[in-house]
Chain A
Amino acid sequence: MGNRMLSESALDRMEKEYQEWLREYQGATRKMPERLKRFSTVSDMEIKSLYTPLDIKEKDYFEEIGLPGFYPFTRGVQSTMYRARLWTMRMFAGLGSAEDTNNRFHYLINHGETGLSTAFDFPTLMGYDTDSPLARGECGKCGVAIDTIQDMQRLFAHINLEEVTSSMTINPPASILWAMYIANAENEGYDRKKLGGTIQNDCLKEFIAQKTLMLPPEPSIRLVVDTVEYGTREVPRWNTISISGYHIREAGSTAVQELAFTIYDGVCYVEECIKRGLDVDDFAGRLSFFWNSHIDFFEEIAKMRAARRLWARLMKDRFKAKNPRSMLLRFHTQTAGCSLTSQEPYNNIIRTTTEALAAILGGTQSLHTNSLDEVYMIPSEQAVLIALRTQQILADEVGVTNVIDPLAGSYFVEALTDKMEEEANDYIRKLDELGGMVAAIERDYPQMEIADAAYHYQQQLERDEKIIIGLNKYPSERPELEFILKIDEELERRQVEGTNAFKANRDKVKFQKAMDELKRRCEGPPCWENNVMPALLDAVHAGATEQECCDLYRQVFGTYSDPGTF
């Protein structure tokens, strides 16, 4: 209660004047009715016509909003925010071969990108080499094919790995790809203590939404904890998990579901790391997050502000973190792929711009802006440049980076931030009751909540209660774009040949010894002595392919496949 922002007398006057306004509004809308029966966000959260100090009259500024860089971090994780350093412009990129993707990395860096982000192809994401029968037709199509450390070397050729941070969107095989990254960096003479970057490594949201499935939940989490433990000791500048809401949202969740399920995945990882014997303040500062910035402008900003407060409070109250850094919710944002249309694709530039602006006003630490052609294919050079320039225009021309958290104190934004936190907390209580995230996943709970929301939205769209321009309003056809990226179908054969040649040249004794040690560690109880990372580094140095390591995981830990519920 204590530190209210308005005095009692000001609130009394506000109440009186609000009632006068309401009468006026009701009279006016009898003459000219409201345009819609119900106004709601894209997530279907109902929105009132006006917000006033009355909506935040219970707020204690110091407890709930505070100052940037100070608990509960509602206004941002740094005291300086974009006045000192802009967000990292980090475009998700991966296409064709390692060389193709390396060319794209250099193209983006040469045009002002400030961090790298790697998209792997589906076989790599699922833990298969290109020569697997399951990988037919997939090579290089939705990202880059990486089978071995040789591919990793080509992927990051001529990039200073101590200066540029790299994010890798990889989940069940994250430990292996990270080992390849570290091993390659060491081969190139870099110090692993100075390597900065992120592996997504968030297995829980795979079961919930993204469906890159490999191992059952329990061993999946064990591998995540192995990477956190290894990172804490050996690669201290690395973000070992990017706890991701993006894919949950793309699968059709509401903003609140994205917020709640993601934060709760974070809770599960923290619990598991503590169980391993790690001190919360030793690793929590290296947990990072990843949000979707969808099309509903204020809802996204409120979600990001609420997320920071929610996480800070959980870390402080539930996990007794002492170091403020452990309480910081630092995050990457990607604009919403699912908001884009294949009809009139140039309109996607406007959608992405709005979503990027929301991410900036929400205080993101790094940002990917989708390209206008990403509805068809991974982006062309022409389209990706427009997407990168979108961020640069917002950073340098528009003026929104002059000031920290300019929307704080907006009656609407603060009320919406509160509502996000409140509804996310309802989910968190429910998930606690279900016995934690793994138990909830086994009961199909978050999966079905998302499926319900996705179906509800689709029905709203078909009833024209939600509008997408070019689709259900001013409908239009999909045009032919002049620049569409094509992935060479011959690449698959070349990639298989390259990997086979590499395997033929490796030291078989060294390779076998490393794989035996990896197996021994996987079979042992989870602890530092059985941490897979040191053995994986030896294995990838000795030429182990991604699939060879994953097959070993599958053999020891068992597999998990999509239950196919709908």
Chain B
Amino acid sequence: MERERNLRILVAKPGLDGHDRGARVIARAFRDAGFEVIYTGCHQTPEQIVSTAIQEDVDMIGLSILSGAHTYSFPRILELLKENSAEDITVIGGGIFPLEDIPKLKAMGIKEIFEPGAKLQEITAWVGENVKPREGIGA
């Protein structure tokens, strides 16, 4: 029987924000949970993030942002995924968000938002339950 392949995850830092502690910690936690992890490093444009996600055939993008610039970058990333027919890539966010922005982000297609204090186990468990390997992508 063919074994289901590991999830491939892109951890990405959109915008000019250099607060990468959370991104690097969650990247390690995803790796330790058995996922394949690619980390972009800081200062990525939405275009760069989407291009990496497509090239790397990822199943999920985890966006980490603490600057407040999610108002621009999150919708732009979703838009670019759609333009590239890759809207089946799950997108989640982590970082600091005004309370009223969270339902807006979810409504536009961000599947989940994890705020400061979210446990690594909680995040990796959510991913395990909610993200499946995308169809037609290498085994």
7 sampled A-B residue pairs with Cβ under 8 A = A136-B69, A137-B70, A250-B21, A252-B25, A478-B99, A566-B23, A566-B24
How many Å lie between the Cα of A84 and that of B25 in the bound state? Answer: 45
- Considering the complex, which residues of chain A in the window 93-149 have a beta carbon less than 8 Å from any beta carbon of chain B? 122-123, 125-126, 128, 133-138, 141-142
A135 and B16 form a contact (CB under 8 A): yes
Residues in chain B near residue A563, CB distance under 8 A:
41
Smallest CB-CB A-B distances: 7 pairs: A137-B72, A564-B41, A211-B18, A562-B41, A122-B16, A137-B69, A141-B68
State which size class the interface on B falls in.
35 or more
Q: Does B20 contact A (CB under 8 A)?
A: yes
How many Å lie between the Cα of A18 and that of B31 in the bound state? Answer: 48
Residues in chain B near residue A186, CB distance under 8 A:
none
Write the A243-266 contact mask toward B (1 if CB under 8 angstroms, else 0): 000000011100000000000000
Q: Does A490 contact B (CB under 8 A)?
A: no
Q: Which of A136, A341, A451 makes the CB contact (< 8 A) with B24? A: A451
Q: Does B138 contact A (CB under 8 A)?
A: no
Known interface pairs A141-B68, A561-B41, A562-B41; A122-B21 also in contact (CB < 8 Å): no
B-binding residues in A (CB < 8 A)? 122-123, 125-126, 128, 133-138, 141-142, 206, 210-213, 250-252, 338, 341-343, 375-377, 451, 454-455, 458-459, 462, 468, 471, 478, 480, 484, 487, 489, 561-566
Known interface pairs A137-B72, A137-B73, A564-B40; A462-B18 also in contact (CB < 8 Å): no
A138 and B25 form a contact (CB under 8 A): no
How many Å lie between the Cα of A436 and that of B42 in the bound state? Answer: 25
Among B80-88, B111-119, B129-137, which stretch is in contact with chain A? B111-119
A125 and B96 form a contact (CB under 8 A): no
Q: Which of B39, B45, B69 makes the CB contact (< 8 A) with A566? A: B39
B16 and A125 form a contact (CB under 8 A): yes
Which has the most chain A C-beta neighbours within 10 Å: B19, B37, B39, B117? B117
Q: How far is the CB of B119 from chain A (nearest CB, A)?
A: 6
Q: How far is the CB of B99 from chain A (nearest CB, A)?
A: 6
Q: How far is the CB of A551 from chain B (nearest CB, A)?
A: 16
Smallest Cβ-Cβ distance to A338: which chain B residue: B21
A-binding residues in B (CB < 8 A)? 11, 15-21, 23-25, 27-29, 31, 37, 39-43, 45, 67-73, 96, 98-99, 115-117, 119-121
Known interface pairs A138-B67, A487-B68; A562-B42 also in contact (CB < 8 Å): yes
Residues in chain B near residue A135, CB distance under 8 A:
16
Which has the most chain B C-beta neighbours within 10 Å: A137, A251, A459, A484? A137
Residues in chain A near residue B98, CB distance under 8 A:
376-377, 484
Extra 13 A-B pairs, beta carbons < 8 Å, given A122-B67, A342-B115, A455-B25:
A128-B16, A137-B68, A137-B69, A137-B71, A138-B15, A211-B20, A342-B116, A462-B119, A480-B99, A484-B98, A561-B43, A562-B20, A562-B42
How many Å lie between the Cα of A138 and that of B72 in the bound state? Answer: 8
B25 and A564 form a contact (CB under 8 A): no
Residues in chain B near residue A126, CB distance under 8 A:
16, 43
Residues in chain A near residue B24, CB distance under 8 A:
451, 454-455, 566
Smallest Cβ-Cβ distance to B31: which chain A residue: A566
Residues in chain A near residue B72, CB distance under 8 A:
136-138
Q: Which of B73, B96, B117 makes the CB contact (< 8 A) with A341? A: B117
Known interface pairs A122-B69, A135-B16, A252-B21; A211-B116 also in contact (CB < 8 Å): no
A134 and B16 form a contact (CB under 8 A): yes
How many Å lie between the Cα of A459 and that of B37 in the bound state? Answer: 19
Residues in chain A near residue B96, CB distance under 8 A:
342, 375-377
B40 and A142 form a contact (CB under 8 A): no
Smallest Cβ-Cβ distance to A343: which chain B residue: B117
Smallest Cβ-Cβ distance to B76: which chain A residue: A136
Smallest Cβ-Cβ distance to A212: which chain B residue: B18
Residues in chain A near residue B67, CB distance under 8 A:
122, 138, 141-142
Q: How far is the CB of A504 from chain B (nearest CB, A)?
A: 26
A123 and B16 form a contact (CB under 8 A): yes
Residues in chain A near residue B45, CB distance under 8 A:
133-134
Smallest Cβ-Cβ distance to B18: which chain A residue: A211
How many Å lie between the Cα of A559 and that of B41 in the bound state? Answer: 15
How many Å lie between the Cα of A142 and that of B68 in the bound state? Answer: 8
A122 and B15 form a contact (CB under 8 A): yes
How many Å lie between the Cα of A123 and that of B119 in the bound state? Answer: 31
Known interface pairs A454-B25, A561-B43; A341-B17 also in contact (CB < 8 Å): no
Q: Which of A141, A210, A342, A468 makes the CB contact (< 8 A) with B18? A: A210
Residues in chain B near residue A564, CB distance under 8 A:
39-42
Q: How far is the CB of A249 from chain B (nearest CB, A)?
A: 10
How many Å lie between the Cα of A377 and that of B41 in the bound state? Answer: 23
Smallest Cβ-Cβ distance to A479: which chain B residue: B99
Residues in chain B near residue A451, CB distance under 8 A:
24-25, 28
Residues in chain B near residue A136, CB distance under 8 A:
69, 72-73
A375 and B42 form a contact (CB under 8 A): no
Residues in chain B near residue A489, CB distance under 8 A:
71
How many Å lie between the Cα of A213 and that of B42 in the bound state? Answer: 9
Residues in chain B near residue A484, CB distance under 8 A:
98
Residues in chain B near residue A377, CB distance under 8 A:
68, 96, 98
Residues in chain A near residue B37, CB distance under 8 A:
566
Smallest Cβ-Cβ distance to A132: which chain B residue: B16
Smallest Cβ-Cβ distance to B72: which chain A residue: A137
How many Å lie between the Cα of A471 and that of B119 in the bound state? Answer: 10
B41 and A138 form a contact (CB under 8 A): no
Smallest Cβ-Cβ distance to A484: which chain B residue: B98
How many Å lie between the Cα of A295 and that of B67 in the bound state? Answer: 24
Residues in chain B near residue A137, CB distance under 8 A:
15, 68-73
Residues in chain B near residue A125, CB distance under 8 A:
16
